[in-house]
Amino acid sequence: MMRRSQVHTVLGAEHSRWRELFIPRAPRQSCSNPEEESILFSNRAACHLKDGNCRDCIKDCTSALALMPFSMKPLLRRASAYEALEKYPLAYVDYRTVLQIDDRVASALDGISRMTRALVDSLGPEWRLKLPSIPLVPVTAQKRWDSVPLEYHKEKAKRKFRETTTSKGRVSSAGDVERARVLKEEGNELVKKGNHKKAIEKYSESLSFSDMESATYSNRALCHLALKQYKEAVRDCTEALRRDGKNVKALYRRAQAYKALKDYKSSLADISSLLQLEPRNGPARRLQQEVKQSLN
């Protein structure tokens, strides 16, 4: 009868042999069948992950995704590797991308919960502002309802109704929404007094109760602009526009921030979008002239 150590040795040898099957093959594949090549990279990544070789796992998952974007297995494996390396923002992005594809994946739901706690602890209440951009998954890559039981549709509809959640993961009750409104008003009063730093704290606290208000983000962006925190202003305006694509103030403030960052093309693009909504907006037209002069 084999000892436990001998069993582990045999299993380890078997795993190594299996991994070696993928190691020589994946890089040598041509692009004749991207799906098969992507699977090879993803399988090899799984071996690297099991070995604790997180960096090579990430490389192979990235190669797999370059061939077949929005494949769930490499996204989940890369998220696990990022998490093991304590790169929580990147892990959060991959878990969130998986949930755009299929919001029932338990490992991604658990991962999001863990990453949210870790990010709040490490980055504080404004952790969402410090995330990399989350890719938008096209409808064609999302799991459709066709093969899903009716009971799931009903439960999903209920979940959507309750989906106004805070950064702490709690459901936003009517009381939370009212508290968020009061805090936003307190932030507005601080802005009028020129206390932009304190106003940011109030807006951040407001968003911790309910993050569905576009104006709260665009107001906080104004404070970031006043404090010359231009990257933070861009992020807040982007969040505001995700909630309300016609938020003129968010477009104007993001254009201002892009101008300060010398990203003149992005600034002009936002001004153009704004002028489509409000063709006679004087400040936007003046900003447009300033940006064009900076380009010359």
Domain extent for 243? 175-295
- Give the separation between CA 212 and CA 162, rounded to whole angstroms: 12
Q: How many CB atoms lie within 10 A of CB 146?
A: 5
pLDDT of res. 169: 42
Domain C-terminal end among 94, 124, 154: 124
Q: Is residue 291 part of a domain?
A: yes
Residue 295: C-alpha distances to residues 32, 98, 283, 289 (Å): 44, 40, 19, 10
Q: Is residue 190 part of a domain?
A: yes
Same domain, 179 and 288: yes
Tally of domains within the chain:
2
Give the list of residues 6+ apart from residue 5 with CB closer than 8 angstroms, or none. Answer: none
Q: Which is nearest to 99 in space by CA: 163, 44, 41, 171?
A: 163
Same domain, 110 and 210: no
Q: Is residue 147 part of a domain?
A: no
Q: What residues in the chain have per-residue pLDDT under 70?
A: 1-32, 142-174
Q: Is residue 278 part of a domain?
A: yes
- Give the separation between CA 168 and CA 249, rounded to whole angstroms: 28
Q: What is the CATH number of the domain that holds 24?
A: 1.25.40.10
Q: Is residue 105 part of a domain?
A: yes
pLDDT of res. 125: 77
